[in-house]
Chain A
Amino acid sequence: MTAMTRTWGRMTLAGKVLFTVVPILLVLTLGLIVLVVVAGKPIVDFLAANLWLVRFVVAATAVLLVSVPFAFLIMYMEMKIIALMNLRIGPDRVGPYGSLLSVVHGLKVLMKEDFSPTGADRLVFTLAPIAVFMATIMGMLVLPFAPGLFGADMEIGLLYFFGVTGLSVVGLLMAGWSSFNKYSLLGGLRSAAQVISYEIPLTLSVVGLLLLAGTMSLNTIVLNQAGWFTDWYVFQQPLGALIFFIAATAEANRTPFDLTEADSEIVAGFATEYSGMRFGFFFFAEYVNVFVVSGLIVTLFFGGWNAPFAWPEAWAVHLTIDPGSLGIGLLFALLIVPPVLILALAAPFFLLRSSMPWWQALIIGFVLFNLLIGAAVTGLAYVSWPWVAGLAWFLMKSYAFVFLFVWMRGTLPRVRIDQLMGFAWKWLLPAALLNLFVTAAALVVVHPK
Protein backbone atom coordinates (compact mmCIF):
# COMPACT_ATOMS: atom_id res chain seq x y z
CA MET A 1 0.00 0.00 0.00
CA THR A 2 2.67 2.47 1.01
CA ALA A 3 4.71 1.54 -2.06
CA MET A 4 1.71 2.33 -4.24
CA THR A 5 1.12 5.72 -2.59
CA ARG A 6 4.82 6.53 -2.89
CA THR A 7 4.85 5.71 -6.60
CA TRP A 8 1.72 7.80 -7.05
CA GLY A 9 3.36 10.70 -5.26
CA ARG A 10 6.46 10.53 -7.48
CA MET A 11 4.47 10.59 -10.73
CA THR A 12 4.29 13.79 -12.72
CA LEU A 13 0.98 15.46 -13.36
CA ALA A 14 0.71 14.19 -16.94
CA GLY A 15 1.44 10.70 -15.70
CA LYS A 16 -1.29 10.93 -13.08
CA VAL A 17 -3.80 12.18 -15.63
CA LEU A 18 -2.92 9.42 -18.08
CA PHE A 19 -2.88 6.82 -15.32
CA THR A 20 -6.43 7.71 -14.28
CA VAL A 21 -8.05 8.73 -17.53
CA VAL A 22 -6.82 5.95 -19.82
CA PRO A 23 -8.13 2.98 -17.77
CA ILE A 24 -11.48 4.74 -17.22
CA LEU A 25 -11.83 5.41 -20.94
CA LEU A 26 -10.80 1.82 -21.75
CA VAL A 27 -13.37 0.36 -19.38
CA LEU A 28 -16.08 2.69 -20.68
CA THR A 29 -15.31 1.90 -24.33
CA LEU A 30 -15.22 -1.85 -23.71
CA GLY A 31 -18.47 -1.66 -21.78
CA LEU A 32 -20.11 0.32 -24.57
CA ILE A 33 -18.96 -2.20 -27.20
CA VAL A 34 -20.22 -5.14 -25.13
CA LEU A 35 -23.52 -3.34 -24.51
CA VAL A 36 -24.06 -2.58 -28.20
CA VAL A 37 -23.15 -6.11 -29.26
CA VAL A 38 -25.32 -7.78 -26.64
CA ALA A 39 -28.35 -5.48 -26.59
CA GLY A 40 -28.03 -3.15 -29.59
CA LYS A 41 -31.43 -3.69 -31.20
CA PRO A 42 -33.64 -3.27 -28.11
CA ILE A 43 -31.71 -0.16 -27.04
CA VAL A 44 -32.17 1.54 -30.39
CA ASP A 45 -35.85 0.59 -30.43
CA PHE A 46 -36.32 1.94 -26.92
CA LEU A 47 -34.61 5.25 -27.74
CA ALA A 48 -36.64 5.63 -30.93
CA ALA A 49 -39.80 5.14 -28.89
CA ASN A 50 -38.67 7.65 -26.22
CA LEU A 51 -37.16 10.49 -28.22
CA TRP A 52 -37.61 12.92 -25.31
CA LEU A 53 -35.00 10.89 -23.41
CA VAL A 54 -32.47 11.41 -26.19
CA ARG A 55 -33.37 15.09 -26.30
CA PHE A 56 -32.95 15.37 -22.54
CA VAL A 57 -29.51 13.75 -22.51
CA VAL A 58 -28.32 15.96 -25.36
CA ALA A 59 -29.78 19.11 -23.78
CA ALA A 60 -28.38 18.42 -20.31
CA THR A 61 -24.91 17.63 -21.66
CA ALA A 62 -24.94 20.67 -23.91
CA VAL A 63 -26.06 23.07 -21.17
CA LEU A 64 -23.50 21.75 -18.70
CA LEU A 65 -20.62 21.76 -21.17
CA VAL A 66 -21.44 25.05 -22.87
CA SER A 67 -21.34 26.84 -19.53
CA VAL A 68 -17.57 26.26 -19.36
CA PRO A 69 -16.52 28.30 -22.45
CA PHE A 70 -19.13 30.94 -21.59
CA ALA A 71 -17.61 31.36 -18.14
CA PHE A 72 -14.06 31.39 -19.55
CA LEU A 73 -14.98 34.12 -22.02
CA ILE A 74 -16.53 36.24 -19.26
CA MET A 75 -13.43 35.76 -17.09
CA TYR A 76 -11.22 36.91 -19.96
CA MET A 77 -13.50 39.87 -20.67
CA GLU A 78 -13.33 40.86 -17.03
CA MET A 79 -9.54 40.71 -16.92
CA LYS A 80 -8.91 42.41 -20.26
CA ILE A 81 -11.62 45.06 -20.30
CA ILE A 82 -11.02 46.23 -16.74
CA ALA A 83 -7.29 46.32 -17.49
CA LEU A 84 -7.90 48.51 -20.53
CA MET A 85 -10.19 50.75 -18.47
CA ASN A 86 -7.44 51.08 -15.86
CA LEU A 87 -4.91 51.93 -18.60
CA ARG A 88 -3.11 48.63 -17.97
CA ILE A 89 -2.26 46.05 -20.63
CA GLY A 90 -3.84 43.11 -18.87
CA PRO A 91 -3.34 39.49 -19.94
CA ASP A 92 -1.11 39.26 -23.01
CA ARG A 93 1.00 36.09 -22.62
CA VAL A 94 -1.16 33.00 -23.16
CA GLY A 95 -2.78 32.78 -26.56
CA PRO A 96 -3.59 35.70 -28.87
CA TYR A 97 -3.99 38.83 -26.70
CA GLY A 98 -3.93 36.61 -23.63
CA SER A 99 -7.28 35.11 -24.50
CA LEU A 100 -6.38 31.65 -23.19
CA LEU A 101 -5.38 32.91 -19.75
CA SER A 102 -8.77 32.06 -18.26
CA VAL A 103 -8.42 28.47 -19.49
CA VAL A 104 -5.03 28.29 -17.80
CA HIS A 105 -6.58 29.74 -14.66
CA GLY A 106 -9.19 27.00 -14.76
CA LEU A 107 -6.55 24.30 -15.11
CA LYS A 108 -4.52 25.84 -12.31
CA VAL A 109 -7.53 25.79 -9.97
CA LEU A 110 -8.14 22.16 -10.94
CA MET A 111 -4.61 21.21 -9.87
CA LYS A 112 -4.52 23.17 -6.62
CA GLU A 113 -4.75 21.55 -3.23
CA ASP A 114 -8.35 21.30 -2.03
CA PHE A 115 -8.11 21.94 1.68
CA SER A 116 -10.72 22.20 4.40
CA PRO A 117 -9.77 23.93 7.67
CA THR A 118 -9.74 22.14 10.99
CA GLY A 119 -12.87 23.64 12.48
CA ALA A 120 -14.94 23.31 9.32
CA ASP A 121 -18.06 21.18 9.02
CA ARG A 122 -16.69 18.90 6.28
CA LEU A 123 -19.97 17.76 4.73
CA VAL A 124 -21.62 21.19 4.53
CA PHE A 125 -18.30 22.68 3.44
CA THR A 126 -18.22 20.35 0.44
CA LEU A 127 -21.89 20.65 -0.44
CA ALA A 128 -21.97 24.47 -0.40
CA PRO A 129 -20.25 25.10 -3.77
CA ILE A 130 -22.43 22.40 -5.32
CA ALA A 131 -25.57 24.13 -4.05
CA VAL A 132 -24.42 27.49 -5.40
CA PHE A 133 -23.41 26.04 -8.76
CA MET A 134 -26.60 24.02 -9.17
CA ALA A 135 -28.78 27.02 -8.35
CA THR A 136 -27.10 28.90 -11.19
CA ILE A 137 -26.86 26.19 -13.82
CA MET A 138 -30.47 25.10 -13.38
CA GLY A 139 -31.57 28.58 -14.36
CA MET A 140 -29.79 28.04 -17.66
CA LEU A 141 -32.07 25.09 -18.42
CA VAL A 142 -34.99 27.32 -19.39
CA LEU A 143 -33.05 30.01 -21.29
CA PRO A 144 -34.16 29.98 -24.94
CA PHE A 145 -30.92 30.29 -26.91
CA ALA A 146 -32.49 30.05 -30.38
CA PRO A 147 -35.63 28.69 -32.02
CA GLY A 148 -35.73 25.04 -30.95
CA LEU A 149 -32.49 25.40 -28.98
CA PHE A 150 -33.37 25.33 -25.29
CA GLY A 151 -33.08 22.91 -22.39
CA ALA A 152 -36.75 22.77 -21.53
CA ASP A 153 -39.76 24.87 -22.44
CA MET A 154 -41.88 25.11 -19.31
CA GLU A 155 -45.25 26.75 -18.84
CA ILE A 156 -43.97 28.18 -15.55
CA GLY A 157 -40.52 28.99 -16.97
CA LEU A 158 -40.05 32.37 -15.31
CA LEU A 159 -41.36 31.27 -11.91
CA TYR A 160 -39.11 28.19 -12.09
CA PHE A 161 -36.15 30.42 -12.91
CA PHE A 162 -36.69 32.70 -9.92
CA GLY A 163 -37.40 29.76 -7.63
CA VAL A 164 -34.25 27.91 -8.61
CA THR A 165 -31.82 30.82 -8.72
CA GLY A 166 -33.13 32.09 -5.39
CA LEU A 167 -31.80 28.90 -3.82
CA SER A 168 -28.22 30.13 -4.26
CA VAL A 169 -28.63 31.98 -0.95
CA VAL A 170 -28.80 28.59 0.79
CA GLY A 171 -25.44 27.62 -0.67
CA LEU A 172 -23.87 30.94 0.30
CA LEU A 173 -25.16 30.59 3.87
CA MET A 174 -23.89 27.00 4.01
CA ALA A 175 -20.45 28.16 2.90
CA GLY A 176 -20.39 31.02 5.38
CA TRP A 177 -21.52 28.90 8.32
CA SER A 178 -19.44 25.80 7.73
CA SER A 179 -16.11 27.59 7.16
CA PHE A 180 -15.61 28.36 10.87
CA ASN A 181 -14.28 31.79 10.06
CA LYS A 182 -15.73 35.12 11.14
CA TYR A 183 -15.22 36.72 7.74
CA SER A 184 -17.00 33.84 6.06
CA LEU A 185 -19.87 34.04 8.51
CA LEU A 186 -20.20 37.78 7.92
CA GLY A 187 -20.08 37.28 4.16
CA GLY A 188 -22.67 34.52 4.25
CA LEU A 189 -25.07 36.53 6.40
CA ARG A 190 -24.59 39.63 4.27
CA SER A 191 -25.30 37.65 1.14
CA ALA A 192 -28.45 36.20 2.72
CA ALA A 193 -29.71 39.68 3.58
CA GLN A 194 -28.82 41.06 0.17
CA VAL A 195 -30.14 38.25 -1.99
CA ILE A 196 -33.50 37.93 -0.23
CA SER A 197 -33.98 41.71 -0.26
CA TYR A 198 -33.35 42.04 -3.98
CA GLU A 199 -35.38 38.94 -4.78
CA ILE A 200 -38.57 40.96 -4.16
CA PRO A 201 -37.98 43.83 -6.64
CA LEU A 202 -36.52 41.32 -9.12
CA THR A 203 -39.66 39.19 -9.16
CA LEU A 204 -42.08 42.12 -8.93
CA SER A 205 -40.47 44.08 -11.77
CA VAL A 206 -41.47 41.47 -14.37
CA VAL A 207 -45.16 41.40 -13.39
CA GLY A 208 -45.86 44.27 -15.77
CA LEU A 209 -44.29 42.20 -18.53
CA LEU A 210 -46.35 39.15 -17.53
CA LEU A 211 -49.50 41.30 -17.78
CA LEU A 212 -48.55 42.16 -21.36
CA ALA A 213 -47.36 38.69 -22.34
CA GLY A 214 -50.00 36.65 -20.53
CA THR A 215 -47.62 33.70 -20.10
CA MET A 216 -44.61 32.66 -18.03
CA SER A 217 -43.08 30.51 -20.76
CA LEU A 218 -39.85 32.19 -21.83
CA ASN A 219 -40.19 30.84 -25.37
CA THR A 220 -43.59 32.42 -25.83
CA ILE A 221 -42.34 35.68 -24.36
CA VAL A 222 -39.57 35.75 -26.98
CA LEU A 223 -42.01 34.89 -29.78
CA ASN A 224 -44.25 37.76 -28.64
CA GLN A 225 -41.40 40.18 -29.29
CA ALA A 226 -40.80 39.17 -32.91
CA GLY A 227 -40.61 41.98 -35.43
CA TRP A 228 -38.74 45.26 -35.38
CA PHE A 229 -36.81 46.23 -32.26
CA THR A 230 -39.63 48.59 -31.27
CA ASP A 231 -41.66 45.47 -30.43
CA TRP A 232 -39.27 44.59 -27.60
CA TYR A 233 -40.79 44.79 -24.16
CA VAL A 234 -38.17 47.27 -22.97
CA PHE A 235 -40.04 50.02 -24.82
CA GLN A 236 -43.31 49.14 -23.10
CA GLN A 237 -41.71 48.42 -19.72
CA PRO A 238 -38.76 50.82 -19.35
CA LEU A 239 -39.12 51.14 -15.58
CA GLY A 240 -39.54 47.39 -15.17
CA ALA A 241 -36.42 46.76 -17.25
CA LEU A 242 -34.40 49.24 -15.18
CA ILE A 243 -35.51 47.75 -11.85
CA PHE A 244 -34.88 44.27 -13.18
CA PHE A 245 -31.37 45.20 -14.28
CA ILE A 246 -30.46 46.74 -10.91
CA ALA A 247 -31.94 43.87 -8.92
CA ALA A 248 -30.28 41.30 -11.20
CA THR A 249 -26.92 42.98 -10.58
CA ALA A 250 -27.47 42.57 -6.86
CA GLU A 251 -28.65 38.97 -7.27
CA ALA A 252 -25.52 38.09 -9.23
CA ASN A 253 -23.37 39.73 -6.49
CA ARG A 254 -21.75 42.08 -8.97
CA THR A 255 -20.25 45.50 -8.33
CA PRO A 256 -21.63 47.90 -7.06
CA PHE A 257 -23.49 45.33 -4.96
CA ASP A 258 -20.67 42.83 -4.28
CA LEU A 259 -20.91 43.19 -0.52
CA THR A 260 -20.77 39.41 -0.05
CA GLU A 261 -17.17 39.20 -1.19
CA ALA A 262 -16.04 42.75 -0.45
CA ASP A 263 -12.32 42.02 -0.51
CA SER A 264 -11.32 45.23 1.26
CA GLU A 265 -13.68 44.55 4.18
CA ILE A 266 -14.07 40.84 4.79
CA VAL A 267 -11.21 39.29 2.74
CA ALA A 268 -13.30 37.15 0.36
CA GLY A 269 -16.52 36.76 2.30
CA PHE A 270 -18.00 33.29 2.25
CA ALA A 271 -15.17 32.00 0.02
CA THR A 272 -12.32 32.93 2.39
CA GLU A 273 -11.54 29.39 3.57
CA TYR A 274 -12.09 27.71 0.20
CA SER A 275 -9.32 26.50 -2.06
CA GLY A 276 -8.86 24.32 -5.09
CA MET A 277 -11.79 23.12 -7.13
CA ARG A 278 -14.41 23.90 -4.49
CA PHE A 279 -13.29 27.52 -4.63
CA GLY A 280 -13.25 27.21 -8.40
CA PHE A 281 -16.90 26.22 -8.45
CA PHE A 282 -17.91 29.35 -6.54
CA PHE A 283 -16.31 31.49 -9.20
CA PHE A 284 -17.49 29.30 -12.05
CA ALA A 285 -21.00 29.73 -10.65
CA GLU A 286 -20.53 33.48 -10.40
CA TYR A 287 -19.50 33.84 -14.02
CA VAL A 288 -22.20 31.49 -15.27
CA ASN A 289 -24.62 33.54 -13.20
CA VAL A 290 -23.53 36.72 -14.96
CA PHE A 291 -24.25 35.07 -18.30
CA VAL A 292 -27.58 33.63 -17.16
CA VAL A 293 -28.74 36.96 -15.78
CA SER A 294 -27.71 38.75 -18.99
CA GLY A 295 -29.47 36.09 -21.02
CA LEU A 296 -32.63 36.51 -18.97
CA ILE A 297 -32.59 40.30 -19.38
CA VAL A 298 -32.21 39.82 -23.13
CA THR A 299 -34.94 37.19 -23.23
CA LEU A 300 -37.45 39.23 -21.26
CA PHE A 301 -36.84 42.79 -22.38
CA PHE A 302 -34.63 42.79 -25.47
CA GLY A 303 -36.29 40.34 -27.80
CA GLY A 304 -34.32 37.20 -26.99
CA TRP A 305 -33.09 35.57 -30.17
CA ASN A 306 -35.09 37.89 -32.44
CA ALA A 307 -33.10 40.07 -34.79
CA PRO A 308 -33.71 43.80 -34.20
CA PHE A 309 -35.14 44.15 -37.70
CA ALA A 310 -37.77 42.25 -39.65
CA TRP A 311 -37.53 42.71 -43.40
CA PRO A 312 -40.67 42.06 -45.45
CA GLU A 313 -41.13 38.41 -46.36
CA ALA A 314 -40.62 39.26 -50.05
CA TRP A 315 -37.01 40.30 -49.37
CA ALA A 316 -36.11 37.01 -47.71
CA VAL A 317 -33.28 35.13 -49.34
CA HIS A 318 -34.20 31.57 -50.18
CA LEU A 319 -31.09 29.78 -51.23
CA THR A 320 -31.43 26.27 -52.49
CA ILE A 321 -28.04 24.96 -53.42
CA ASP A 322 -27.87 21.47 -54.83
CA PRO A 323 -24.22 20.57 -55.36
CA GLY A 324 -25.22 17.37 -57.13
CA SER A 325 -26.70 19.29 -60.07
CA LEU A 326 -23.23 20.38 -61.14
CA GLY A 327 -22.23 16.76 -61.72
CA ILE A 328 -18.64 16.30 -62.72
CA GLY A 329 -18.34 20.08 -62.95
CA LEU A 330 -18.35 20.19 -59.14
CA LEU A 331 -14.99 18.44 -59.04
CA PHE A 332 -13.49 20.93 -61.49
CA ALA A 333 -15.01 23.86 -59.62
CA LEU A 334 -13.52 22.67 -56.34
CA LEU A 335 -10.13 22.10 -57.97
CA ILE A 336 -9.95 25.25 -60.06
CA VAL A 337 -11.82 27.97 -58.16
CA PRO A 338 -9.64 28.11 -55.00
CA PRO A 339 -6.24 28.53 -56.74
CA VAL A 340 -7.65 31.05 -59.20
CA LEU A 341 -9.28 33.04 -56.39
CA ILE A 342 -6.11 32.93 -54.29
CA LEU A 343 -4.03 34.15 -57.25
CA ALA A 344 -6.58 36.86 -58.04
CA LEU A 345 -6.53 38.06 -54.44
CA ALA A 346 -2.74 37.93 -54.25
CA ALA A 347 -2.15 39.73 -57.56
CA PRO A 348 -2.95 43.31 -56.44
CA PHE A 349 -0.54 43.08 -53.51
CA PHE A 350 2.23 41.67 -55.72
CA LEU A 351 1.70 44.23 -58.47
CA LEU A 352 1.22 47.35 -56.32
CA ARG A 353 3.88 46.69 -53.67
CA SER A 354 7.10 46.13 -55.59
CA SER A 355 9.07 45.38 -52.41
CA MET A 356 6.90 42.40 -51.51
CA PRO A 357 8.25 38.96 -52.41
CA TRP A 358 5.84 36.65 -54.28
CA TRP A 359 5.39 34.20 -51.41
CA GLN A 360 4.24 36.91 -49.01
CA ALA A 361 1.65 38.03 -51.53
CA LEU A 362 0.51 34.40 -51.86
CA ILE A 363 0.11 34.06 -48.09
CA ILE A 364 -1.96 37.25 -47.99
CA GLY A 365 -4.06 35.93 -50.84
CA PHE A 366 -4.57 32.63 -49.02
CA VAL A 367 -5.64 34.35 -45.80
CA LEU A 368 -8.03 36.64 -47.67
CA PHE A 369 -9.47 33.65 -49.51
CA ASN A 370 -10.11 31.85 -46.24
CA LEU A 371 -11.74 34.93 -44.74
CA LEU A 372 -13.94 35.20 -47.80
CA ILE A 373 -14.95 31.55 -47.65
CA GLY A 374 -15.58 31.84 -43.90
CA ALA A 375 -17.77 34.89 -44.41
CA ALA A 376 -19.65 33.13 -47.21
CA VAL A 377 -20.24 30.00 -45.10
CA THR A 378 -21.35 32.11 -42.12
CA GLY A 379 -23.73 34.13 -44.26
CA LEU A 380 -25.11 30.98 -45.85
CA ALA A 381 -25.66 29.40 -42.44
CA TYR A 382 -27.28 32.62 -41.21
CA VAL A 383 -29.89 32.69 -43.97
CA SER A 384 -30.39 28.94 -44.18
CA TRP A 385 -30.93 27.93 -40.55
CA PRO A 386 -33.02 30.10 -38.24
CA TRP A 387 -31.29 28.69 -35.18
CA VAL A 388 -27.87 29.95 -36.33
CA ALA A 389 -29.26 33.46 -36.74
CA GLY A 390 -31.12 33.21 -33.43
CA LEU A 391 -28.10 31.94 -31.54
CA ALA A 392 -25.90 34.65 -33.03
CA TRP A 393 -28.30 37.41 -32.01
CA PHE A 394 -28.89 35.94 -28.57
CA LEU A 395 -25.18 35.61 -27.81
CA MET A 396 -24.41 39.06 -29.18
CA LYS A 397 -27.09 40.70 -27.04
CA SER A 398 -26.18 38.66 -23.96
CA TYR A 399 -22.52 39.49 -24.20
CA ALA A 400 -23.41 43.15 -24.68
CA PHE A 401 -25.00 42.93 -21.24
CA VAL A 402 -22.04 40.99 -19.86
CA PHE A 403 -19.90 43.86 -21.12
CA LEU A 404 -22.20 46.26 -19.28
CA PHE A 405 -21.68 44.29 -16.05
CA VAL A 406 -17.90 44.35 -16.55
CA TRP A 407 -18.03 48.05 -17.36
CA MET A 408 -19.89 48.72 -14.12
CA ARG A 409 -17.27 46.78 -12.23
CA GLY A 410 -14.57 48.89 -13.82
CA THR A 411 -16.21 52.21 -12.94
CA LEU A 412 -18.56 52.09 -9.96
CA PRO A 413 -17.49 52.01 -6.30
CA ARG A 414 -19.08 49.58 -3.84
CA VAL A 415 -22.14 50.77 -1.89
CA ARG A 416 -22.44 50.58 1.90
CA ILE A 417 -24.56 47.79 3.36
CA ASP A 418 -27.18 50.16 4.84
CA GLN A 419 -27.51 51.97 1.51
CA LEU A 420 -27.84 48.59 -0.21
CA MET A 421 -30.69 47.36 1.98
CA GLY A 422 -32.48 50.70 2.14
CA PHE A 423 -32.38 51.05 -1.64
CA ALA A 424 -34.08 47.69 -2.18
CA TRP A 425 -36.93 48.22 0.25
CA LYS A 426 -37.50 51.97 0.08
CA TRP A 427 -37.00 52.64 -3.63
CA LEU A 428 -37.04 49.55 -5.81
CA LEU A 429 -40.00 47.81 -4.16
CA PRO A 430 -42.38 50.81 -4.38
CA ALA A 431 -41.15 51.52 -7.90
CA ALA A 432 -41.83 47.90 -8.95
CA LEU A 433 -45.35 48.05 -7.48
CA LEU A 434 -45.94 51.39 -9.23
CA ASN A 435 -44.83 49.82 -12.51
CA LEU A 436 -47.24 46.93 -11.91
CA PHE A 437 -50.26 49.14 -11.29
CA VAL A 438 -49.50 51.62 -14.06
CA THR A 439 -49.26 48.74 -16.54
CA ALA A 440 -52.46 47.15 -15.24
CA ALA A 441 -54.31 50.48 -15.35
CA ALA A 442 -53.12 51.09 -18.89
CA LEU A 443 -54.38 47.65 -19.89
CA VAL A 444 -57.74 48.34 -18.25
CA VAL A 445 -58.01 51.59 -20.21
CA VAL A 446 -56.80 50.17 -23.52
CA HIS A 447 -58.52 46.79 -23.48
CA PRO A 448 -61.72 47.14 -21.45
CA LYS A 449 -63.98 44.13 -21.76
Chain B
Amino acid sequence: MTNIWYIVGFMVAGVSFVFLTIGAAWLISHRNRGDVHKGLPYESGIDTYGDTHGRFGLSFYIYALLFVAFDIEVIFIYLWAIIFRAAGVDIGSLFVSMLVFVGILLLGLAYAWRKGVLTWR
Protein backbone atom coordinates (compact mmCIF):
# COMPACT_ATOMS: atom_id res chain seq x y z
CA MET B 1 0.00 0.00 0.00
CA THR B 2 3.00 2.22 0.51
CA ASN B 3 3.70 2.10 -3.19
CA ILE B 4 0.62 3.99 -4.36
CA TRP B 5 1.45 6.80 -1.93
CA TYR B 6 4.99 6.74 -3.24
CA ILE B 7 3.68 7.42 -6.72
CA VAL B 8 1.19 10.09 -5.67
CA GLY B 9 3.72 11.77 -3.41
CA PHE B 10 6.37 11.71 -6.10
CA MET B 11 3.91 13.24 -8.54
CA VAL B 12 3.19 16.08 -6.09
CA ALA B 13 6.92 16.58 -5.51
CA GLY B 14 7.65 16.65 -9.24
CA VAL B 15 4.86 19.07 -10.10
CA SER B 16 5.92 21.40 -7.29
CA PHE B 17 9.52 21.18 -8.54
CA VAL B 18 8.40 22.30 -12.00
CA PHE B 19 6.18 25.06 -10.63
CA LEU B 20 8.96 26.31 -8.36
CA THR B 21 11.39 26.45 -11.28
CA ILE B 22 8.92 28.18 -13.58
CA GLY B 23 8.03 30.56 -10.75
CA ALA B 24 11.68 31.38 -10.11
CA ALA B 25 12.17 31.97 -13.83
CA TRP B 26 9.08 34.20 -13.85
CA LEU B 27 10.57 36.25 -11.02
CA ILE B 28 14.01 36.80 -12.51
CA SER B 29 13.12 37.09 -16.19
CA HIS B 30 12.20 40.35 -17.84
CA ARG B 31 8.80 40.87 -19.41
CA ASN B 32 7.21 43.41 -21.67
CA ARG B 33 3.90 43.54 -23.43
CA GLY B 34 5.26 44.40 -26.87
CA ASP B 35 2.93 45.39 -29.70
CA VAL B 36 0.37 43.32 -31.55
CA HIS B 37 2.98 41.54 -33.64
CA LYS B 38 4.65 39.95 -30.66
CA GLY B 39 1.67 37.74 -29.93
CA LEU B 40 1.29 36.45 -33.47
CA PRO B 41 2.00 32.75 -34.04
CA TYR B 42 5.32 32.12 -35.76
CA GLU B 43 4.58 30.62 -39.14
CA SER B 44 7.86 31.21 -40.96
CA GLY B 45 7.47 34.98 -40.79
CA ILE B 46 4.28 35.17 -42.85
CA ASP B 47 0.98 36.33 -41.42
CA THR B 48 -1.29 33.46 -40.45
CA TYR B 49 -3.46 32.37 -43.34
CA GLY B 50 -6.78 30.71 -42.58
CA ASP B 51 -8.00 29.20 -39.33
CA THR B 52 -5.52 27.24 -37.23
CA HIS B 53 -8.15 25.05 -35.61
CA GLY B 54 -10.04 24.61 -38.86
CA ARG B 55 -10.54 21.47 -40.90
CA PHE B 56 -7.54 19.22 -40.64
CA GLY B 57 -6.68 15.94 -42.34
CA LEU B 58 -6.27 13.33 -39.62
CA SER B 59 -4.94 10.43 -41.64
CA PHE B 60 -4.09 8.24 -38.67
CA TYR B 61 -7.25 7.82 -36.65
CA ILE B 62 -7.34 4.15 -37.66
CA TYR B 63 -3.89 3.80 -36.06
CA ALA B 64 -5.41 5.07 -32.83
CA LEU B 65 -8.12 2.39 -32.99
CA LEU B 66 -5.50 -0.29 -33.62
CA PHE B 67 -3.44 1.12 -30.78
CA VAL B 68 -6.31 0.79 -28.32
CA ALA B 69 -6.91 -2.82 -29.36
CA PHE B 70 -3.25 -3.80 -29.04
CA ASP B 71 -2.57 -1.83 -25.88
CA ILE B 72 -5.38 -3.57 -24.04
CA GLU B 73 -4.01 -6.84 -25.38
CA VAL B 74 -0.59 -6.00 -23.95
CA ILE B 75 -1.94 -6.00 -20.40
CA PHE B 76 -3.35 -9.50 -20.84
CA ILE B 77 -0.13 -10.72 -22.44
CA TYR B 78 1.92 -9.34 -19.54
CA LEU B 79 -0.14 -11.18 -16.95
CA TRP B 80 0.05 -14.31 -19.08
CA ALA B 81 3.84 -13.97 -19.30
CA ILE B 82 4.15 -13.62 -15.52
CA ILE B 83 2.33 -16.87 -14.73
CA PHE B 84 3.83 -18.79 -17.66
CA ARG B 85 6.51 -20.51 -15.59
CA ALA B 86 4.57 -20.59 -12.34
CA ALA B 87 4.10 -23.98 -10.72
CA GLY B 88 0.86 -25.85 -11.22
CA VAL B 89 0.01 -24.41 -14.62
CA ASP B 90 -0.34 -26.48 -17.78
CA ILE B 91 2.26 -24.79 -19.95
CA GLY B 92 1.10 -26.32 -23.23
CA SER B 93 -2.50 -25.15 -22.95
CA LEU B 94 -1.28 -21.71 -21.90
CA PHE B 95 0.80 -21.52 -25.06
CA VAL B 96 -2.07 -22.60 -27.31
CA SER B 97 -4.55 -20.22 -25.68
CA MET B 98 -2.23 -17.27 -26.21
CA LEU B 99 -1.71 -18.39 -29.81
CA VAL B 100 -5.47 -18.25 -30.36
CA PHE B 101 -5.81 -14.91 -28.54
CA VAL B 102 -3.09 -13.19 -30.56
CA GLY B 103 -4.28 -14.93 -33.73
CA ILE B 104 -7.67 -13.24 -33.48
CA LEU B 105 -6.02 -9.84 -33.07
CA LEU B 106 -3.67 -10.54 -35.94
CA LEU B 107 -6.70 -11.26 -38.11
CA GLY B 108 -7.85 -7.73 -37.38
CA LEU B 109 -4.41 -6.36 -38.19
CA ALA B 110 -4.31 -8.35 -41.44
CA TYR B 111 -7.73 -6.95 -42.37
CA ALA B 112 -6.53 -3.41 -41.69
CA TRP B 113 -3.35 -4.08 -43.64
CA ARG B 114 -5.35 -5.47 -46.61
CA LYS B 115 -7.62 -2.41 -46.56
CA GLY B 116 -4.54 -0.22 -46.89
CA VAL B 117 -5.05 1.50 -43.55
CA LEU B 118 -1.44 1.02 -42.51
CA THR B 119 -0.20 3.09 -45.46
CA TRP B 120 0.06 6.77 -44.59
CA ARG B 121 -1.74 8.93 -47.15
Which residues from chain A sit less than 8 Å from chain B, CB to CB? 13, 16-17, 20, 52, 56, 60-61, 63-64, 109-115, 117-119, 126, 129-130, 133-134, 137-138, 141, 151-152, 154, 158-160, 179-185, 189, 192-193, 196-197, 199-200, 203-204, 207, 210-211, 214-216, 267, 272-273, 276-278, 280-281, 417-418, 421-422, 425-426, 429, 433, 436-437, 440-441, 443-444, 447-449
Establish whether residues B56 and A185, one from each chain, have CB atoms under 8 Å apart when the complex forms: yes
A56 to B86, CA, bound (A): 32
Choose from B22, B41, B99, B118 the contact partner of A437 (Cβ within 8 Å). Answer: B99
Q: Can you name 10 A-B pairs with beta carbons within 8 Å?
A: A60-B10, A112-B25, A113-B30, A118-B40, A141-B6, A196-B71, A200-B67, A204-B77, A281-B18, A436-B77
Is the contact region of chain B dominated by helix, strand, or loop, or is it mixed?
helix
Our pick among B28, B52, B98 for the contact of A16 (Cβ within 8 Å) is B28
Q: Is the CB of A196 within 8 A of B63?
A: yes
Asked if B27 and A20 sit within 8 Å, CB to CB, the answer is yes
Contact yes or no, A114 B28, CB < 8 A: no
Residue on B nearest A141 in the bound complex, by CB: B10
Number of interface residues of B (CB under 8 A): 68
Closest approach, in angstroms, between the C-beta of B88 and any C-beta of chain A?
Answer: 8
Q: Which of A64, A418, A425 has the most CB of B within 10 A?
A: A425
The secondary-structure label for the interface of chain A is helix
Q: Separation in Å of the B29 CB from the closest CB of chain A?
A: 5
- B100-117 CB mask vs A (1 if < 8 Å, else 0) is 001000100100010000
What residues of chain A lie closer than 8 Å to B25, measured between beta carbons?
Answer: 109-112, 114, 276-277, 280
Other contacts beyond A114-B26, A210-B82, A443-B84: 16, CB < 8 A: A56-B5, A56-B6, A111-B28, A111-B29, A117-B40, A138-B10, A159-B75, A182-B43, A189-B58, A193-B63, A272-B42, A281-B22, A421-B60, A422-B120, A443-B85, A448-B92
What residues of chain B lie closer than 8 Å to A158, measured between beta carbons?
A: 78
Interface set of B (CB-CB < 8 Å, partner A) = 2-3, 5-7, 9-11, 13-15, 17-19, 21-22, 24-32, 36, 38-44, 48, 52-53, 56, 58, 60, 63-64, 66-67, 70-71, 74-75, 77-78, 81-82, 84-86, 89-92, 95, 98-99, 102, 106, 109, 113, 118-120
Q: Which residues on B sit within 8 Å (CB–CB) of A433?
A: 102, 106
Report how far A105 CA is from B99 CA in the complex, Å: 52
CB-based contact A214/B84 at 8 Å? yes
Kindly state the separation between the CA atoms of A203 and B79 in the bound complex, as whole angstroms. Answer: 13
Given contacts A181-B52, A448-B92, contact A134 B82 (CB under 8 A): no
Chain B: CB-nearest residue to A154: B3
Whole-angstrom CA separation of A185 from B51 in the bound complex = 12
Structural contact, B11 and A134, CB atoms closer than 8 A = yes
B39: chain A residues at CB < 8 Å are: 117-119
